[in-house]
Amino acid sequence: MTNRAFNFNAGPAALPLEVLQQAQQEFIDYAGAGMSIMEMSHRSGIFEEVNDGAQSLLRELFGIPSHYKVLFLQGGASTQFAMIPMNLLGAGQTAAFVNTGSWADKAIKEAKLFGETAVVASSEADKFNRIPDVSNLQIPTNSAYLHITSNETIEGTQYAAYPETGDVTLIGDMSSDILSRPVDVSKFGMIYAGAQKNLGPSGVTIVIAREDLISESPKSIATMLRYDTHVKNNSLYNTPPSFSIYLVGLMLKWVKERGGVAAMEQFNRDKTKLIYDTIDNSGGFYRGFADVNSRSLMNITFRLGSEELEKQFVKESEQQGFVGLKGHRSVGGLRASTYNAVPLESCKALADFMGDFQKRNG
Ligand code: PMP
């Protein structure tokens, strides 16, 4: 028997039990090598298979066109906030952004260190409770790219449709919703994501980018911060986070066995409906933070009538085996993160708990 919590952590987050069990089984002796993945050379044939296998499964599941590169990097999505302008923002160019909240804002602040930025849409005036209208963006003509955050992890908002950017390269931070729904990758010049929400454990950052964008970086950039270093070396320029990459591979296999990315989207819709319906049918006892049209399938943010009641909700939920329901310290309230690996049972249990809590406190 395993005693698993109802894990709604925002990241690092729940991993599928099946994935953990397989990792456990293979932990001490991987593929008869007489050692674990962590103990073997990243130049060994076995690890190369793990590395290439994870890459090709990601290509298959996410429908990544052949003229795109897949890189496994380190430093988290936060390092991409800097690497992108360092590599792609030329002299005299502008980095354009849609400001949707906490993470978009961090990406903007970092880009400012390297050149001109322009915010072409923002929902700041509404406390970032929605994705702003991106149907008719005025993107400066000298823009190197437009950067969006496809899911705002803290506010709990997600794009229903991505902007059309014409000739301007679209870059997406998909840290908190990669592989949770099908995406037309060809609309993007680059997509990046820290793995620790939908793809596996922390320690590896996935970059998917059109080859022409990243095959030649400006010569002044440090070796590790140049995309071309990692392109030329198949992400094996230096020692990679090998155990994290291995677990990403297991996670991808798990997604494939469950029907792929479209099946994940349906699964995530079913899970989140249980909780959003509970909020909507609570007569105002629970109040969703995000505008209905911008609601996220990954992070459900909501509030109660007072901070006291919210504290009590968190305390009682913890007593009943729920983890991670306290909202991010910057916005308060409550948040349930429902990434791919979160089971339907956890969401059912949460909806039941919410109903019960309302009965006792409503
Ligand atoms: N972007 C988004 C949307 C995120 O949710 C996060 C992490 N919570 C980051 C970027 C930063 O990722 P990392 O911690 O991997 O640097």
C-alpha of residue 7 to centroid of ligand 1, in Å: 19
Tell me what pLDDT residue 289 has.
96
Tell me what pLDDT residue 231 has.
98
Atom of ligand 1 nearest to the CA of 79: 16
C-alpha of residue 154 to centroid of ligand 1, in Å: 10
Average pLDDT over residues 55-71: 98
How does residue 193 score in pLDDT terms, banded at 50, 70 and 90?
A: very high
Long-range contacts of 158-166 (CB under 8 A, 24+ apart): 158/131, 158/294, 158/295, 158/296, 158/297, 158/298, 159/131, 159/134, 159/294, 160/131, 160/293, 160/294, 162/134, 162/187, 162/188, 163/98, 163/134, 163/135, 163/137, 165/137, 165/139, 166/139
The two three-digit tokens of residue 337, written as one number: 């993160």
Percent of the chain at pLDDT above 90? 98
Tell me what pLDDT residue 329 has.
87
pLDDT at 1 over 60: no
The 10s digit of each residue's pLDDT in 18-36 is 999 999 999 999 999 999 9
The ipTM, to two decimals, is 0.99
Tell me what pLDDT residue 362 has.
87
The two three-digit tokens of residue 63, written as one number: 């429908």
The two three-digit tokens of residue 273, written as one number: 């409906």
The 10s digit of each residue's pLDDT in 317-340 is 999 999 999 999 888 899 999 999
Q: Binding residue per annotation — 25?
A: no
Tell me what pLDDT residue 131 has.
98
C-alpha of residue 77 to centroid of ligand 1, in Å: 5
Atom of ligand 1 nearest to the CA of 150: 3
The 10s digit of each residue's pLDDT in 200-259 is 999 999 999 999 999 999 999 999 999 999 999 999 999 999 999 999 999 999 999 999
The residues lining ligand 1, judged by C-beta closer than 6 Å to any ligand atom, are 11, 76-78, 103, 149, 153, 173, 175-176, 194
Residue 254 bears catalytic tag = no
Pairing label, strands 116-122, 151-152: unpaired
What class is the 18-257 domain? Answer: alpha beta
Q: Binding residue per annotation — 43?
A: yes
The 10s digit of each residue's pLDDT in 270-311 is 999 999 999 999 999 999 999 999 999 999 999 999 999 999
The 10s digit of each residue's pLDDT in 146-190 is 999 999 999 999 999 999 999 999 999 999 999 999 999 999 999
Q: Binding residue per annotation — 77?
A: yes
Tell me what pLDDT residue 3 has.
86
User: How is the chain split into domains, by residue range?
Assistant: 18-257, 259-361
| Residue to substitute in 73, 78, 84 for testing ligand 1 pocket (most ligand atoms within 8 angstroms of CB) | 78
The span from the CA of 99 to the CA of 110, in Å, is: 13
For residues 355 and 277, the answer to whether their CB atoms sit within 8 Å is no
The domain 259-361 having CATH identifier 3.90.1150.10: the answer here is yes
pLDDT at 2 over 90: no
Indicate the residue type of 41.
Answer: S
| Residue to substitute in 149, 151, 175, 329 for testing ligand 1 pocket (most ligand atoms within 8 angstroms of CB) | 175
Please indicate whether the domains covering 18-257 and 259-361 agree at the CATH topology level.
no
